[in-house]
Structure 1
Amino acid sequence: MVTEACRKNQITVNGQVAKPSREVFPMDKITFRKDQITYSITVLDIPLNRVGAKLVDIYRKDETPAEAFAHLEMLKLSKEHYRKSGVGRPTKKDRRDLENFDLDNEE
């Protein structure tokens, strides 16, 4: 997944587009876009071995502005306001229920 993002030029390290084989060093700034948010992360240190997900925050500092997350939340709310779920075109289940209702009334 990350390799594919690098090939699409979606990841930058210190302002330069990163290739999949690019080495990362402490104090490098990595930026990438995910879910309509541009994340900015600073590498604090490189672990000697692989670490679990809970320990990753020891080696990085997330510098993504809080406004980006607030903007994403506003987008979600605006989509809900535009069209509430369950309103609009019926689903297959709704259509089948309507067909069964019509058949029951004819008898």
Structure 2
Amino acid sequence: MADKEKLRIDKYLWAIRVFKTRTLATEACKAGRVKLEGNNMKPSHEVKIGGVYHVSKGIERREIKVTDLLFNRVDAKKAVNYYEDVTPVEKTQAYQSMFHSPLLRRDRGAGRPTKKERRDIEDLMGEDSGPIADSFFDD
């Protein structure tokens, strides 16, 4: 493509697969969840190579550096060549740790835990388990 062609930020974020649909990318821009140097970007903002965009998607925060322009949506393996994820490692680890905590749920219909199972759960949760453990054992 020619260098003089313009590429909108919403279309670029959709093409590199940050957002599932272009509509979601547009709404994120309008809601102020896409920023460049701390400034909110409109969906029609022109993407420039080398720009670092801060994108908030739910609880996930990413910093994306534009390495090349992509005008059409391609598969994920090819899309990675058009941007660089420069999100600081601390933020990435904090985001991942939220989803790797142990789940404290019992199968529905499993009945009350045995004495040994309850002791194991209390050991896992600590001595002062508080109201979380109480609600966990409610039937």
Q: TM-score range by the shorter chain?
A: 0.5 to 0.7
Report how far residue 22 of structure 1 moved: 1.0
Report how far residue 75 of structure 1 moved: 1.8
How big is the alpha-carbon RMSD for the aligned residues of Structure 1 and Structure 2? 2.1
> Is residue 85 of structure 1 aligned with residue 108 of structure 2?
no
Sequence identity (%): 26
> Is residue 50 of structure 1 aligned with residue 72 of structure 2?
yes
**Bigger Cα Rg:** 1
Aligned partner of 1:40 in structure 2 is 63
Structure 1: distance between partners of 2:94 and 2:28: 23
> Is residue 30 of structure 1 aligned with residue 50 of structure 2?
no
Aligned partner of 1:59 in structure 2 is 82
Larger helix fraction of residues: 1
The within-5 A match list for 1:68-79 is 68-78=91-101
> Is residue 12 of structure 1 aligned with residue 35 of structure 2?
yes
Tell me the secondary structure at the aligned position of residue 32 of structure 1.
Answer: strand
Report how far residue 15 of structure 1 moved: 2.6
Tell me the secondary structure at the aligned position of residue 76 of structure 1.
Answer: coil
Compute the TM-score of the two structures, normalised by the length of structure 2.
0.52
Deviations 1:19-61 (A, max 9, x none): 11111111111111124232001101213x4251221121111
Larger strand fraction of residues: 1
Tell me the secondary structure at the aligned position of residue 99 of structure 2.
Answer: helix
Q: Which runs of 5+ in 1 are unaligned?
A: 95-107
- Report which structure shows greater RCO (CA 8 Å, sep ≥6): 2
Residues matched between the structures, number: 85
Q: Which runs of 5+ in 2 are unaligned?
A: 1-23, 110-139
- The question of whether the paired residues in 1 share the 8 Å contact of 2:33 and 2:57 is answered with no
Moved over 3 A (4+): none
